[in-house]
């Protein structure tokens, strides 16, 4: 934290070679899990007294972890409530939007059933770690399954991928081919009548 003291104090950082990096006009946002156990503990209650107790407990944990000269240089400390299962479902949508965007470059579309979205939210929720396990779950259950289809040659440009819940557990990745319609044959058949 001594390096951060120089940044927070002087607005600059000098590296081992003597080069100076300016941090003027910079906002520094730092994150920490210090006191996270109190956030989980008090988030369930929700009343003002519990909120004040939570804040005091977090401040004590910060003082026990960081030196006073470091804490005195921080302008504000913002705490966030723990994520609930209801908070995770929109995060599933955001994570899958990234996957869809990557697939668009290959001209592949992706749909996920509501049951699979709900299942990913439930399986990816961890009250201790928040949404972090969700990203790994989507990588393993969605992205890796799609990548496997690409490697096997089953997923080509123009295809559609459907992610659903497997009734036996886990998820399914179904590749749907575009309809191959012979429009000339359809038109010629119509002329014969």
Strands of the 160-165 sheet, one edge to the other:
109-112, 160-165, 171-176
Give the model's pLDDT for residue 138. Answer: 96
Contacts of 27 (CB under 8 A, 6+ apart): none
Q: What is the pLDDT of residues 26-54, one digit of tens each?
A: 998 988 888 777 776 666 655 566 778 88
Report CA-CA distances (Å) from 24 to 7, 10, 11, 74, 77: 9, 9, 5, 15, 21
Q: What is the pLDDT of residues 50-86, one digit of tens each?
A: 778 888 888 899 999 999 998 988 888 888 777 888 8
Categorize the per-residue pLDDT at 4 as very low, low, confident or very high, splitting at 50, 70 and 90.
confident
The domains located in the chain, with CATH, are 2-71 (no CATH), 85-176 (1.10.8.60)
Residue 23: pLDDT over 80: yes
What's the mean per-residue pLDDT of the chain? 85
Q: Kindly report the pTM of this predicted structure.
A: 0.65
Is the pLDDT at 118 greater than 80? The verdict is yes
Mean pLDDT of 140-167: 94
* Mean pLDDT value of segment 144-151: 94
């Amino acid at each position: 934290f001594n390096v951060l003291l120089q940044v927070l104090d002087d607005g600059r950082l000098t590296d081992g070679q003597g080069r100076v990096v300016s941090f003027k006009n910079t906002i520094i946002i730092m994150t920490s899990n210090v006191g996270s156990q109190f956030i989980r503990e008090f988030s369930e209650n929700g009343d003002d007294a519990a909120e004040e107790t939570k804040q005091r407990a977090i401040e004590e944990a910060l003082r026990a972890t960081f030196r006073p000269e470091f804490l005195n240089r921080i302008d504000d400390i913002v705490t966030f409530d723990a994520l609930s299962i209801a908070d995770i479902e929109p995060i599933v949508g955001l994570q899958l939007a990234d996957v869809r965007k990557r697939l668009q470059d290959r001209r592949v579309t992706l749909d996920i059933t509501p049951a699979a979205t709900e299942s990913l939210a439930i399986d990816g929720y961890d009250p201790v770690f928040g949404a972090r396990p969700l990203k790994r779950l989507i990588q393993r259950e969605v992205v890796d399954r799609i990548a496997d289809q690409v490697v096997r040659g089953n997923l080509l440009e123009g295809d559609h991928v459907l992610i659903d819940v497997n009734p036996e557990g886990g998820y399914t990745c179904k590749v749907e081919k575009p309809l191959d319609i012979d429009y000339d044959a359809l038109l010629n058949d119509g002329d014969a009548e």
